[in-house]
């Protein structure tokens, strides 16, 4: 297995199971660095590669991880001497004056830190550009490695799954099939359905739980409309800063943080990829407390949940400073050692996908984050033109270009879990014999693609085998 810069696109290659003439599996990464997955032989797609004698490739998405197309071209040289590795990272095509030189112990990083993630640079960040990268990579690697006659299959999870699907739809001559997991196929501005699924999960656990959460949030929203309650709310919820007067964006940001806090208690039901949550942060703790009348009103119970969360995370208070959030999202410097991806993904949401998780639905338990809050944040971070009009145009244009739910093509597998809120923007029913869908009851985000585990349900195991059998059949045709 190796990782390569070519020259700025990073990719991983694993030929451990490859048999000459076998298929080529190309995993299209999404909004994150392409790391970790390459080292695991127990993820489902790697087991498929072993059974089919496939070459396994992972392509990193532009502007994520170390694949930076503007300003920097990466070349990486590694040599080993007495168990000490020296990495010389050479940056070419410098478009502005460097400001920082970083040297790390046992590794040498030449890091010229400048504003590579500026809005001007992010103009080149889009799913269409990523698709062009995928096509170019597939063509060049096939030529260089003698894989032009092999059958190529795209794989991907979440946004990476969308790219896998769209690669097959747009370039069926280059890709023989596609396998997607939890892939949103329809772009949508007002993604209120996300919180509806969270409400349904809570209701399935305890029918009174989402009712209590909804009442608590409604009370909090009303209190935030009256200045006299500001100090009480700050004290009760242990906020880090005083609440600003007449600041709708500040209060909406506070409510968004509260929603994320509650959602963290259902992470095991929604997304098993999330690691490191304390044992006490679970749906039982949430619902047991929210339905315990002895703790006081639903508002009082919600404060108890916040206190439990802070204690488990060893935190003193909850940040509600919207200005600091905007400042962080506006930071356009590229720091190789501490790369974050919030700015890049938010840019894609503001310009082509939406996916704004609002509370504008009566069928969910939260309050306080209207769609306009996200439009305002887009413009506050990226500039005045990045507001409602651009977001509306971008989402409409995305669905027009890719087709949205109106999928036209063949040999594409769609997999989703019923506990994954993203399934509401995916394909959960067969479109045709050559466009099958598998919908897994009780499973969360990308469950079928994760590492196999002894605790996997019988249905999940069966779905994985079903996907393999379909893929194997297609590759024999």
CB 398 within 8 A of CB 187: yes
**Residue carrying the six token digits 């993630």:** 117
- 68, with CB counted inside 10 A (0-12, 13-18, 19+), is buried
Q: pLDDT exceeding 90 applies to what percent of the chain?
A: 72
Residues 6+ apart with CB under 8 A from 251: 224, 243, 368
User: Is pLDDT of 363 > 60?
Assistant: yes
In the predicted model, what is the mean pLDDT of residues 166-181?
98
Residue 276: what pLDDT?
Answer: 55
Strands (E), 60-112: 73-81, 84-92
Q: Domain extents for the chain?
A: 11-65+121-186+406-476, 72-113, 189-397
pLDDT class of 204 with cuts at 50, 70, 90? very high
Which option is the CATH number for 11-65+121-186+406-476: 3.40.640.10, 3.40.109.10, 3.40.50.1820, 3.40.50.920? 3.40.50.1820
User: Is pLDDT of 317 > 50?
Assistant: yes
339-356 tens-digit pLDDT: 567 999 999 999 999 999
Residue 49: what pLDDT?
Answer: 96
pLDDT class of 273 with cuts at 50, 70, 90? low
Residue 246: what pLDDT?
Answer: 73
282-297 tens-digit pLDDT: 999 999 999 999 999 9
Comparing 112 with 69, which gets the higher pLDDT? 69
Choose among 470, 392, 441, 445: nearest CA to 161.
Answer: 445
Here the tokens at position 426 are: 């995916």
Comparing 385 with 244, which gets the higher pLDDT? 385
How far, in Å, CA of 263 to CA of 119, rounded?
31
Residue 38: what pLDDT?
Answer: 60
Residue 117: what pLDDT?
Answer: 86
* 0.85 exceeded by pTM: yes
Lowest mean pLDDT among 32-41, 337-346, 355-364: 32-41
Residue 268: what pLDDT?
Answer: 78
User: Is pLDDT of 105 > 60?
Assistant: no
In the predicted model, what is the mean pLDDT of residues 18-36?
89
70-87 tens-digit pLDDT: 754 443 433 332 322 223
pLDDT class of 320 with cuts at 50, 70, 90? confident
Positive or negative torsion for Cα 426, 431, 437, 439: positive
Residue 76: what pLDDT?
Answer: 40
């Amino acid at each position: 297995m190796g990782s390569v810069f070519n020259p700025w696109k990073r990719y991983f290659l694993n030929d451990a199971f490859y048999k000459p003439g076998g298929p080529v599996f190309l995993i299209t990464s999404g909004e994150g660095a392409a790391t970790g997955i390459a080292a695991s032989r127990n993820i489902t797609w790697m087991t498929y590669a072993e059974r089919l004698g496939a070459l396994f490739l992972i392509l990193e998405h532009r502007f994520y991880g170390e694949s930076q197309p503007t300003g920097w071209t990466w070349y990486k040289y590694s040599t080993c001497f007495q168990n000490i590795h020296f990495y010389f990272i050479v940056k070419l095509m410098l478009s502005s004056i460097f400001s920082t030189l970083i040297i790390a112990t046992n590794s040498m990083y030449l890091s010229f830190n400048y504003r590579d993630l500026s809005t001007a640079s992010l103009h080149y960040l889009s799913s269409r550009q990523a698709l062009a990268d995928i096509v170019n990579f597939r063509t060049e690697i096939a030529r260089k490695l003698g894989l032009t006659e092999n059958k190529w299959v795209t794989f991907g999870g979440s946004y990476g799954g969308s790219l896998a699907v769209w690669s097959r739809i747009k370039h069926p001559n280059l890709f023989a099939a596609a396998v997607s997991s939890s892939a949103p196929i329809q772009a949508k501005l007002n993604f209120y359905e996300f919180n509806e699924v969270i409400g349904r999960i809570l209701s399935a656990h305890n029918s009174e739980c989402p009712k209590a959460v909804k009442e608590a949030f409604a009370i909090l929203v009303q209190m935030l409309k009256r200045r006299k309650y500001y100090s009480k709310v700050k004290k009760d919820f242990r906020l880090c800063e005083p609440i600003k007067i007449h600041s709708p964006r500040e209060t909406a940001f506070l409510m968004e943080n509260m929603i994320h806090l509650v959602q963290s208690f259902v992470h095991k039901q929604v997304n098993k990829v999330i690691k490191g949550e304390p044992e006490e942060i679970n749906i039982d703790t949430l619902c047991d407390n929210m339905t315990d009348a002895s703790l006081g009103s639903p508002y009082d119970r919600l404060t108890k949940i916040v206190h439990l969360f802070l204690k488990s995370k060893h935190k003193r208070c909850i940040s509600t400073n919207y200005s600091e959030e905007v400042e962080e999202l506006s930071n356009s410097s590229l720091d190789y050692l501490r790369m974050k991806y919030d700015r890049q993904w938010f840019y894609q949401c503001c310009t082509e996908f939406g996916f704004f998780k609002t509370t504008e639905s009566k069928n969910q338990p939260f309050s306080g984050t209207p769609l306009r809050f996200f439009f305002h944040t887009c413009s506050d971070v990226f500039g005045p033109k990045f507001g409602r009009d651009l977001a509306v145009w971008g989402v409409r244009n995305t669905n027009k270009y890719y087709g949205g739910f109106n999928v036209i093509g063949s040999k594409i597998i769609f997999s989703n879990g019923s506990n994954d809120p993203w399934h509401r923007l995916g394909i959960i029913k067969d479109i045709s014999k050559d466009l099958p869908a598998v919908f897994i009851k009780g499973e969360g985000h990308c469950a079928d693609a994760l590492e196999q585990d002894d605790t996997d349900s019988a249905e999940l195991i069966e779905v994985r085998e079903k996907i393999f059998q379909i893929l194997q059949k297609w590759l024999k045709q």
